Chain A
Amino acid sequence: MQSNALKNTAAKATWSVIHPLTEEDSTAVAALRKVAAPVKGKLKGIAGRGPFNEIMERVAVPEDVTFEAASVGGICGWWAKLPKDREGAAIIHVHGGWFNWGTAQAFRNFAGHIALTAGADVFIPDYRLSPEHPFPAAVRDLEACYRGLLDQGTTRIGLTGDSAGGNLALLLLSIASAQASEDAIAPAVAVVFSPVTDLALTGESFDTRAEADPYFTKPQAAGLIRSYLGDTDPKNPLASPLYGDLTGLPPIRVHVGDDEVLLDDSRRYVERAVTAGVDAELDVWMGLPHGFVTNVGGFNAATQALRASGAFLADRLGRTVR
């Protein structure tokens, strides 16, 4: 129970909401830590792809969602479709995997849950991965995918992304908003989960949360990012959304676990967005690790975060655009 007296003297940032850990989630996280401990920091390079996809494929199957393979803007991927879709609206979910791992297929179930909670169909593009296709291949693929959706007549587009997918979703948000015109409508909304916003890895949480993060270490992240960036300066705004000009962006919501080396990637991004006048908010989930939101049914916090982000997406996508 939070001290009311303290609220007077130490007002929390008004753009962040802190969610206490529930008893059930505490037990679930403890169990997860035991499983993750032997492999912490060890998943690297292409060898990580198999195990990573396996984990994502275990996400609970969403009810009443149909999956369709498709190509949007020339980018292959999968649609997660609802029985009754919200015409003219769609979401692009950019999957995570540190730019080196992950497939649209492996992320279908998770995307299906986003579709259900947001009330809109979700397309998951298979953007090109490193090391075979380094920066900026992934960014270009997502631009093409976005244009493809616009060409299909979709006018209200939401962007979502998890982890490295959050990086790419926020970059796409900036690019598409900057290019907005009468023919190229800007995205209506973005929600990202534990985004990687700073490829220079300067976030303090790489140290303050080093022990608490059950999966990742700084050297591991650095290796994966190197294979994506090559010689590109990590502070290039096209690589790290944290260093971009955030003025004029549409509403953004970010969800992050407190026990993540990436905590400060989320915090700093939202702080900068708010300073730039963006309608941005951060939800911090105490005691939860990276990727908790994909553990649908396993964590209370996952259900709550999906519901909250879904409601937010549904609200923004329901509004008509000019």
Chain B
Amino acid sequence: MMQAISQILSAALGTMAFGLLYGVPRNYYPYCGAIGGAGWLVYLAVSPWGGILASLVATMAVALLSRFTAIRKRCPVTVFLITGIFPLVPGAQVYWMAYYFVTDETGLAAQNGYLAVKTAFAIVLGIVFVFEIPQRVFARRRKKKC
């Protein structure tokens, strides 16, 4: 439990730091952090049912939150989506793949490579699903581009 909390906090912190790295305007930092943290919270909550499913659901959560925030703040959704997705990107699997490849554990390397590709596909599907929802569901009759 403690670990989960520290992980969520660090996800939020990391998301904010990367927001700065990509030049997000200062007043959006808290939102970026909150979205990143929420994404990881969802990931942890769903992960007992499988890592790939968790990535999918967490991405959908991040994308939904990004769209809501973008509408409310009237700024491009990209700002929140890119930073919020960072904790979910399969960086760890890419690392394990390289590590096992070098240490002659080809089986494990292939397994982690597949996992990275599957996670990436889950993220793709998550984003695509959420962006198929028509804009007006979010805008509530206020016709604004996100």
Determine if chain A interacts with chain B: no
Instruction: Write the residues of chain B forming the contact surface with A, with a CB cutoff of 8 angstroms.
Output: none
Instruction: Write the residues of chain A forming the contact surface with B, with a CB cutoff of 8 angstroms.
Output: none
